[in-house]
Amino acid sequence: MLKRLSSNSNFSKGLWKILNQRNMSTSKLDASKLQVTRVSQKSQPKPNDQLVFGKTFTDHMLSIEWTMEKGWDAPVIKPYGPITLDPASCVFHYAFELFEGLKAYRTKDGKITMFRPDKNMERMNKSAARICLPTFDSDELIKLIGKLIEEDKHLVPEGQGYSLYIRPTMIGTTDGLGVGYPDRALLYVITSPVGPYYKTGFKAVKLLATDFATRAWPGGVGDKKLGANYAPCILPQLQAADKGYQQNLWLFGPEKNITEVGTMNVFFVFKDSKTGKKELVTAPLDGTILEGVTRDSVLSLARERLDPKEWEVNERYYTIYEVSERSKKGELVEAFGSGTAAVVSPIKEIGWQDEDIQVPLLPGEQSGELTKDVANWIAAIQYGKEVHGNWSRVVADVN
């Protein structure tokens, strides 16, 4: 049944005790209990040029049910297909839903690897805890996703820019219309062979600096990957498109701080005209910014590889006013978005208060120099051309 919250103590000590202890007193997520039901006939891979992002799915899916009474049930890999839910399921009425996005790649030595899955599992557990859904053992879910990929490894596309997109999702399935925390949930994973996120490929985009709508706010859930964060952003994106822009550059507060771009984190490069030193800057993780895995990867690689005598790498607040002024002074060097789907997306123009801020690009190209370098750095690790710590986890052999 749906567990209602008392009107005068939303999160009482008693409730917190239940939510914190329920995973300790019930069955844990256990990859060794996996049950597999295979399709009768495997599908054939589509040619790379027919892979539209998120439109093609593999033969199988992973499904794991959870109840407050028993904990995590045995994981099941089964043929991909519809999910049946009660019309009163709380996911439909109160948005008990979260998801992740990560990728697996074919490497040059015949392996299939996932890129930094531990970071995605960490973030998924944070999202689950925030909306009172169950948490899980990250390593166990990574093992299970690996088993899912193993079943459909023949569908993982080959080639630079092509990968297997992985979508772990968790929903509350308790039926009932009272507002409360769920005592039933479903965790499932589907996978999709994909090509480049944008049909146009690696091409710079135009943004509309947006202060007429707000993506996230202090004390909210902008740092969690919840479905409820995404639907409200579609209307502002359509409004931006009506004005000739591909995406929104989200601003916040009277200062007009730059936060994110579309559904991605965003980076700017400035150059001090007096010292000649460059700065790579992105907004800090203050609870309103999504803790992007690609964002973290960009920052880590930049701090490792950029000469500190020539560069600073900073997480700080900066405003659209700063971008505008530094552009006029010739101190705006380049800008790009970062995220799992597109990896990096170069920016060429920002609309703001009846002016178009031009972001420099390399002559004859669609990005700035650092944007291009970052894309190459990350791709080299993802496709197995370079080893970087434990960022790549092998889950299958191609043969």
pLDDT of residue 292: 98
State which amino acid sits at residue 302: A
**The CATH number, out of the four listed (3.20.20.220, 3.20.10.10, 3.40.50.720, 3.90.420.10), of the domain defined by the range 205-367:** 3.20.10.10
Measure Cα distances from 126 to 135, 213, 229, 336, 397 in Å: 8, 26, 15, 27, 31
pLDDT value for 234: 97
Residue 25 dihedral angles phi and psi, to the nearest 5°? -105, 0
Q: For the chain, what's the residue count?
A: 399
* 89 DSSP assignment: B
Q: Rounded mean pLDDT of the chain?
A: 93
Q: Where are the domains of the chain?
A: 3-194, 205-367
Sign of CA dihedral 379, 385, 389, 390: positive
Q: Amino acid identity of 194?
A: V
Predicted confidence band at 26 (pLDDT cuts at 50, 70, 90)? confident
Is the per-residue pLDDT at 9 higher than 90?
Answer: no
Contact assessment for residue 396 and residue 111, using Cβ atoms and an 8 Å cutoff: yes
DSSP output for 194-216: E--SSTT-S--EEEEEE-SS-S-
Residue 3 has pLDDT above 70, yes or no: no
* Contacting residues for 243 by C-beta, under 8 A, at least 6 apart: 208, 351
Query: What separation in angstroms does the CA of 154 have from each of 53, 143, 274, 392?
Result: 18, 19, 55, 19
Of the candidate CATH numbers 3.30.470.10, 1.20.59.10, 3.40.50.300, 3.40.50.150, the domain formed by 3-194 belongs to 3.30.470.10
Q: How far apart are CA 251 and CA 387, in angstroms?
A: 37
Strands 180-181 and 111-115: unpaired
To the nearest 10 degrees (0 to 180), the angle between helices 369-382 and 293-305 is 110
Exposed e or buried b for every residue in 300-319, given b needs 16+ CB within 10 A? ebbeeebeeeebbbeeeebb
CA-based end-to-end distance of the chain: 47
Amino acid 13: pLDDT: 56
Residue 4 has pLDDT above 90, yes or no: no
pLDDT tens across 195-222, in order?
988 766 678 999 999 999 999 999 999 9
Q: What is the pLDDT of residues 300-331, one digit of tens each?
A: 999 999 999 999 999 999 999 999 999 999 99
Tell me the percentage of the chain whose pLDDT exceeds 70: 93
In the numeric block, the tokens 């947006």 are attached to 210
**Rg of the chain (C-alpha set):** 22
Residue 230 is given by DSSP the state: T
E strand or H helix at 71, and its extent?
A: strand 71-72
pLDDT digit string (tens) for 250-286? Answer: 999 999 999 999 999 999 999 999 999 999 999 999 9
Instruction: Give pLDDT, residue 382.
Output: 97
**Structure tokens of 214?**
């707000």
Find all residues with CB under 8 Å of 79, minimum gap 6, and list them: 37, 38, 39, 59, 60, 61
8 pLDDT band (50/70/90 cuts)? Answer: very low
The confidence band for 14, taking pLDDT boundaries of 50, 70 and 90, is: low
Q: State the helix-helix crossing angle for 293-305 and 117-130, rounded to 10 degrees.
A: 140
Phi and psi at 55, nearest 5°, equal -110, -20
Q: Supply the pLDDT for residue 16.
A: 56
Per-residue pLDDT tens over the stretch 107-142: 988 999 999 999 999 999 999 999 999 999 999 999
Joined together, the tokens standing for residue 301 give 């690689």
Is residue 398 very low, low, confident or very high in pLDDT (cuts 50, 70, 90)? Answer: confident
Helix, strand, coil in percent for the chain, rounding step 5: 25, 30, 45
Helix axes 138-151, 117-130, angle to 10 degrees: 120
For residue 102, what is the enclosing H or E element? strand 102-106
> SS3 of 374, please?
helix
